[in-house]
Structure 1
Amino acid sequence: MSAKSSQGGLSVQSEELRVVILGNTGDYKNKVVKSILDCENLAGVKVGQCTLHQRDRDGRRISVVEAPGWDRSSKQQTPENIREEVERSVSLCPPGPHALLLVIPVKLSEEPSAHEVTAAQTHMQLLSERVWKHTILLFACDDGVEEPQVREHIRGAEKILDKCGGRHYVLQKRSQSNELFMKIDDLVEENRGDFFTTQVYYELIKHKTQEASGEDKLRLRRISLDNPPDLNKDKGDSVEKKKTTESDKPLEDTPKIYMDIRQFVVILMGVVGALIGAVAGAEYGVSGSVTGLVSGIIVGLLIACITKCIYTRMYSRSLKKPTDSRVNSG
């Protein structure tokens, strides 16, 4: 089974566990290393100012990097080379540690120090704000330290506890070795096997991810170009629409044609009436012809108007019926 970094790191075997120990000067970090490896006689390898310890435990390969101690008062008083070694420590167990243990000493003869907690916080931020997701605050106690003093140290470290999600462990005896190991495993499980990476490596992975995203977008554009829309289909629709419009056009022009016919009928009826009236009045001379002409025109126009009204009503009804049927069918 493998696990993968949240920043996109390389896969690692679940049987491997990588831990970095950080804290101020003193031998408390070394005590924590012995507890994790369950080994009294350590044989670490010096890598610069850091020490790399490796050992198989319960069928798992454990790598522990012990970073050099910083000044317990402030980051400014820590030498530049030590600060650089603190930053480099997380790269000595590639591709990155699963857990970082920030050690706060609980000494029998000393009260909690606010400066010590502040210095620890500022030194951890050398590794970026992402480090808190993988950090456990570990209180390493002297022999004989009682519970009230431990609680007082925990209260004094509230700012750091808020940053690392409240994860902490109190190490008082070597017999707690298995419990500490389980606490680290809980963190690894909480992060689903993800590990911490340096800022440089994180930015590299982020850049690679963005490049891959850009390639996906380009691939989608190429697919769009390879499968252009069917313009002929739209063209066919336009032709069909045009045909439909043209087929409807005679219907629109029909009333105009019939209107011209009706006007012709009125004129024709007037002329016919005038001729009939003139012929009928000719028996009475010129005055009779004129009177018959006028009367014929009037009678012809009346007949034409009556015929026009009757025809118009009949024609309007014939046009209305198909329209109503189309509306009902829609």
Structure 2
Amino acid sequence: MENNPEEKESITLPEVRLILIGGRWAGKSSSGNTILRRERFECGQTRTAQSEVRHEIVEGRKLIVVDAPGWKSSLSLTHIPEWNKQQFKLNLSRCPPGPQVFLLVIPIDSAFSVAQKRIVEEHMKLLGEGVWRYTMVLFTCGDYLGGKTIEQHIESEGDALKWLIERCKNRYHVINNKEKSNSSQVTLLLQKIDEIVSDNNGSYYEVDEQTLTIIEKKQREVAERAEKRRRRAEEQRQQMTTLIQGDLCRALGDVQLVVTEKRRSEKMESNLEEKESITLPEVRLILIGGRWAGKSSSGNTILRKERFECGRTRTAQSEVRHEIVEGRKLIVVDAPGWNSSLSLKDIPEGDKQRFKLNPSRCPPGPQVFLLVIPIDSAFSVAQKRIVEEHMKLLGERVWRYTMVLFTCGDYLGGKTIEQHIESEGDALKWLIERCKNSYHVINNKEKSNSSQVTLLLQKIDE
């Protein structure tokens, strides 16, 4: 199909509906812009958090392009949040009555491994076996080919990529998003899409209305439960504020017994307006959780400075940093993350002992443990067990001082954190309840957004 698409007579569609699918950072949004010949999708540092639909008139026909959020190419489907799976299925309804083609975006500049083959296969199964009839591989990073052909690349890559090409009935196309002015690459792509439609007798991928109805019903139920959880969390915060105000009132009353009733009342009102909760002059907190959960990055966001090293290397031993933030001293301990795939019995004894010593790194002791949980992956029953085992090392009382800190806040897209909690299942809900409904979301890609730290400190005060 790559060589001479013009040899085969095909239908010229007045309207083309296509969905861009694939892993994160594969080049889907950029490809959408190249296809539409306009900058309609946002590209760069921010990922596509929810499906976006754009349309343009290209070569005399209407193109409707759906840019679907990418999947994490290192995570099996079992580790993908339930909401994300549902949203992936709902992509089909974004271009009614249904897409004529799925462009499965694969970058040329990285190897297509056996693990990636499995993840692609798992995601395609969510759409049903019939989806392969309408799928074409769209290779991005065409400039990386250099002097070789795409066929040479396919043959040199191994069985995983060859399997994918065969699964798509040898349908593929190469695009170079750095040469958007090269209109011929889009013209050729549209010819190949015409051929796919012709091969499928003019049909499109039909959306299973029953499946969509079930998903939409589930999401409505989740939204209702999420709103109840949000209200409950707000009520708990208000109750705590009321208790603190009551304590303050009593304290002020004791101190000012010698003052006249009028002056005492005026003074109390003045103090209550200025201070509704305890503001700690020093906050001592410990970041705990699995490896690569975003603890070090969260520490930097909280301290509003790059004090912990982030990137390729993991935190090997506890590190303590402190800064003055909003007029008070913050002491942050970044503890080494545990292996989320290993039960406690498989953890070296030395690691267990070091984990127990973390509270001693901020004497006289931490006021809060921030249990870091990334939003971009599912919180499974196995992870629940591993969290529970590690918390037992610190003793039952540790839960009184623990708050869940959700990282990867940008992955929420259009949903609330409460919708994420309610859609994830019993394991995550158990964790939130264990922490007495105490949680906070942070987006470490928006370190300049100081309000997220201000709100976190308010919750710690409470």
TM-score (norm 2): 0.37
2:122 paired residue number: 122
Pick from 65, 88, 92 the counterpart of residue 86 of structure 1: 88
- SS of equivalent residue, structure 1 residue 91: helix
2:436 paired residue number: none
For the Cα contact (< 8 Å) 1:49–1:82, is it kept in 2? no
Kindly provide the amino acid, as one letter, of the partner of residue 199 in structure 2: E
Kindly provide the amino acid, as one letter, of the partner of residue 60 in structure 1: R
1:134 paired residue number: 134
| Distance apart, 1:112 and its partner CA | 3.0
Pick from 163, 167, 177 the counterpart of residue 167 of structure 2: 163
Which whole-Å deviations, capped at 9, do the CAs of 1:287-319 have from their partners, x for residues lacking one?
Answer: xxxxxxxxxxxxxxxxxxxxxxxxxxxxxxxxx
| 1:92/1:178 CA distance change after superposition, 3 Å | same
| 1:78/1:91 CA distance change after superposition, 3 Å | same
Structure 1: distance between partners of 2:81 and 2:211: 26
Structure 1: distance between partners of 2:111 and 2:65: 29
Structure 2: distance between partners of 1:39 and 1:142: 19
Whether 2:30 is the aligned partner of 1:31: answer: yes
Structure 2: distance between partners of 1:167 and 1:116: 19
Choose 184-193 or 13-22, whichever is displaced more.
13-22
| 1:92/1:55 CA distance change after superposition, 3 Å | same
- SS of equivalent residue, structure 1 residue 90: helix
Structure 1: distance between partners of 2:42 and 2:56: 10
| Distance apart, 1:137 and its partner CA | 1.5
Q: CA RMSD in A?
A: 2.9
| 1:154/1:189 CA distance change after superposition, 3 Å | farther
1:75 paired residue number: 77
For the Cα contact (< 8 Å) 1:127–1:199, is it kept in 2? no
| 1:153/1:65 CA distance change after superposition, 3 Å | farther
- Higher helix content, 1 or 2: 1
Structure 1: distance between partners of 2:119 and 2:197: 26
2:189 paired residue number: 180
Kindly provide the amino acid, as one letter, of the partner of residue 191 in structure 2: M
Which whole-Å deviations, capped at 9, do the CAs of 1:143-186 have from their partners, x for residues lacking one?
Answer: 33333445434753232233322212222354212111211121
| Distance apart, 1:53 and its partner CA | 0.9
Structure 1: distance between partners of 2:212 and 2:153: 42
Structure 2: distance between partners of 1:89 and 1:59: 26
Kindly provide the amino acid, as one letter, of the partner of residue 128 in structure 1: G
Which whole-Å deviations, capped at 9, do the CAs of 1:257-282 have from their partners, x for residues lacking one?
Answer: xxxxxxxxxxxxxxxxxxxxxxxxxx
For the Cα contact (< 8 Å) 1:98–1:195, is it kept in 2? yes
1:55 paired residue number: 56
* Count of matched residue pairs: 188
Structure 1: distance between partners of 2:193 and 2:165: 16
Structure 2: distance between partners of 1:116 and 1:190: 28
Structure 1: distance between partners of 2:134 and 2:94: 16
1:195 paired residue number: 204
Kindly provide the amino acid, as one letter, of the partner of residue 188 in structure 1: V
| Distance apart, 1:14 and its partner CA | 4.3
Structure 2: distance between partners of 1:144 and 1:14: 32
What's the % identity of the aligned pairs?
29
Kindly provide the amino acid, as one letter, of the partner of residue 23 in structure 2: N
| 1:183/1:30 CA distance change after superposition, 3 Å | same
| 1:27/1:157 CA distance change after superposition, 3 Å | closer
Structure 2: distance between partners of 1:139 and 1:154: 16
Structure 1: distance between partners of 2:163 and 2:108: 17
Q: Which runs of 5+ in 2 are unaligned?
A: 1-11, 214-462
| Distance apart, 1:27 and its partner CA | 5.0
Kindly provide the amino acid, as one letter, of the partner of residue 35 in structure 2: I
Q: Which runs of 5+ in 1 are unaligned?
A: 1-12, 205-330
Structure 2: distance between partners of 1:203 and 1:27: 27
2:359 paired residue number: none
Which whole-Å deviations, capped at 9, do the CAs of 1:29-82 have from their partners, x for residues lacking one?
Answer: 1122122212234489xx981010111112211111111111113222322222
Kindly provide the amino acid, as one letter, of the partner of residue 192 in structure 1: N
Structure 1: distance between partners of 2:155 and 2:33: 24
- SS of equivalent residue, structure 1 residue 94: coil
| 1:179/1:153 CA distance change after superposition, 3 Å | farther
- SS of equivalent residue, structure 1 residue 133: helix
